[in-house]
Each structure stands twice: as C-alpha cells, then as structure tokens.
Amino acid sequence: MRDILSRQGCEALQSLRDGRVLFAFDFDGTIAPLASHPRLSRVPKPIRLQLQTLAALAPVAIVSGRSLADLRRFFPRFPGFLVGNHGAEGLPGNRAALRSACHACSVWRPHLCRLLRACRSGDDIWLEDKVFSFTVHSHSPSALLAFKRYCTQDVLRFLPPMRFLPGKASVNLLPLSVPNKGNAMRFLLNRTRAKRGIFVGDDETDEDVFSASSEHIVTVRVGRSRRTRAAFLLRSQREIGRLLTALIALRRSSR
Ligand SMILES: [Mg+2]
C-alpha cells in the first residue's frame, strides 16, 4: 500500500484540489483516537477545527457506525454531513429501510440479551443498542467469537438475517436491508454533485466504501491491513492532522 503522505500519495491528492470534491471520514480510529469505551472517545480540538475549516472550503461528511444522536453530541453545529449507523442514518429517503431495520432490531434484541448473559462467564462483553443496529463490545476476542458462534447456531431466532461486521474489539450486527457506508458515499457524491472525493477509514465497515469506489475516489485506510481494498495507507491515526493540513492547503490553493 502506498502512503497517502508520500510523494505518490500527494500526487493523488492533487485530483482533489479543484471543482466539486467530497471529503469524507470515518469517526472512531480515524478522526478520533480509539478509546477503551465508546463513551470515552474524544475528537481532539485541533482536528475538530481543521474539519470545520475544510467544511468551509468543500463538502465534508463524517460517516460512522455510531448512532446519529451520538455523532451530533460530538459535532453539535457541524457544517457538513453527519451519517450514522454505518451509512443508514442521517440521509433522506431511507425511511422505509430504517423502519425495517428498527423492526429487525426489536426482534433480535431479547435474543441478543439472552445470548450475552449466556456467554458473559466473567468476560467483559456488552451490547451497544443503536436502534437500527447493534455493536457487541469486548476486549476478549474469545468472548466475541463465542458470541458470534451462539448467534449463528441460533440463526432461526435472528430472522430477518443479520450481517456480522467485525470491528476493533467489537462485532457489529446490522440488518441486511439498510444502506451501508458505500451506499452513503454514493448518495453524498450525488447530493453534493461531486465528481471526485476522498474517504478515510480504519475498519472493516469502511471496506464497503473502499470496495465500491471508482478511480475518482481516493481511498485511504488508517493502519496497515493485508485485506483492504483501499488504494492508500495512513500509517497511524495520529497522522490524521497532517492529512487534514494537506487537504486544507490543497483547497486553499484551488484556482
Ligand atoms: Mg473506525
């Protein structure tokens, strides 16, 4: 993978200098450092200011697995787009999909709670209920594996079927019917009439964008991954400030 902050990477970024361009970012592990608990996450003030500066120069979107309400807590007056629940929440035209996702989650909820009680056995494992999807968090990989095994063994209880997306110290449980981050990115490109864009993310859920992107989208994975479909790498989350500085300078030099 090529480093987005290398000479080659900076050449690719030149395509984002002029015209309608969408700048989109994942939240946890991308603009916010990973935390031991989702509630402990913070977007450093300099990064927040840089995102606001960039949003004054071009359309900006935060596309996250967090609920929309949670994102609004971090960005109460954000001038760009906030998209939650892995692409399902925050964009117009999704009402029917959200209704069916809400229904699916209400069917799964009691079974998930029962399964969690069954595989707790001393390990820290807990359920984050985001109304339209769930995330099961644990610092124990074996507990997450056991939980997923319980779910797949008990598949008849989980109809409509769920999609499992591994995260960092977590597993996401999503209805199949809802838009993913790739769908959200496509929608945002249309909505902003952007011909080009960049998406930066660190996790398996961001692969929905990386795998669906055309050559007009600069795709950047935070941290190394052997399986990623992203074209570029940002070596560490700590480098997001450097990338934002480069993007702001680029847009300011726009003709
Ligand atoms: Mg992430």
The domain that holds 138 is classified in CATH as 3.30.1240
- Ligand 1 mean position to 187 CA, how many Å? 20
73 and 122, same domain (yes or no): no
Task: Tell me, in angstroms, the distance from the centre of ligand 1 to residue 225's CA.
Answer: 13
Same domain, 89 and 101: no
Q: Do residues 153 and 54 share a domain?
A: no
What is the whole-number distance in angstroms between the Cα of residue 126 and the centre of ligand 1? 18
Determine the distance separating the centroid of ligand 1 and the alpha carbon of 156, expressed in angstroms. 30
Rounded to the nearest angstrom, the distance between the alpha carbon of 155 and the centre of ligand 1 is 27
Using the mean position of ligand 1's atoms as its centre, give its distance from the Cα of residue 149 in Å: 24
Q: Which pLDDT does position 113 carry in this prediction?
A: 87
Determine the pLDDT at residue 105.
93
Number of domains in the chain: 2
Contacts of 20 (CB under 8 A, 6+ apart): 58, 59, 192, 193, 194, 195, 196
Domain boundary among 157, 175, 193: 175
CB 222 within 8 A of CB 240: yes
pLDDT along the chain (255 residues), means of 10: 95 96 98 93 96 97 96 94 95 89 92 80 82 92 84 73 86 90 96 96 95 92 94 97 98 87
Asked which of 156, 175, 194 is the last residue of a domain, the reply is 175
* Domain shared by 152 and 183, yes or no: no
33 Cα: distance to centroid of ligand 1 (angstroms):
9
Tell me, yes or no, whether 87 and 143 share the same domain.
Answer: no
Rounded distance, CA 50 to CA 79, Å? 12
Residues 190 and 169 in one domain: no
Does 85 lie in the same domain as 183?
Answer: yes
Assess whether 6 and 60 both reside in one domain.
yes
Query: Could you tell me if 6 and 89 lie in one domain?
Result: yes
Q: What is the 86 CA–ligand 1 centroid distance (Å)?
A: 10
C-alpha to C-alpha distance for 147 and 120, rounded to whole angstroms: 9
Residue 115's pLDDT is what? 83
* Residue 245 shares a structural domain with residue 185: yes
Separation of 117 CA from ligand 1 center, angstroms? 27
Kindly report the backbone phi and psi dihedral angles of residue 201, in degrees, each rounded to the nearest multiple of 5, phi listed first.
-155, 165
Evaluate whether 133 touches 180 at the Cβ level (below 8 Å): no
CATH assignment at residue 247: 3.40.50.1000
Taking the centre of ligand 1 as the mean of its atom positions, its distance from the CA of residue 199, in whole angstroms, is: 12
- Cα separation, 76 vs 236, in Å, equals 27
What's residue 123's pLDDT? 62
7: containing domain: 2-93+179-252
**Do 165 and 207 share a domain, yes or no?**
no
Does one domain contain both 197 and 86? Answer: yes
Compute how many other C-beta atoms are within 10 angstroms of the C-beta atom of residue 233.
Answer: 21
Helices (H) and strands (E) in the chain, counts: 8, 11
- Distance in Å, CA 204 to ligand 1 centroid: 8
- 63 CA distance to ligand 1 middle (Å): 9
Ligand 1 centre to CA of 91 (Å) is 19
Domain boundary among 175, 210, 238: 175
d(CA 80, CA 226): 32
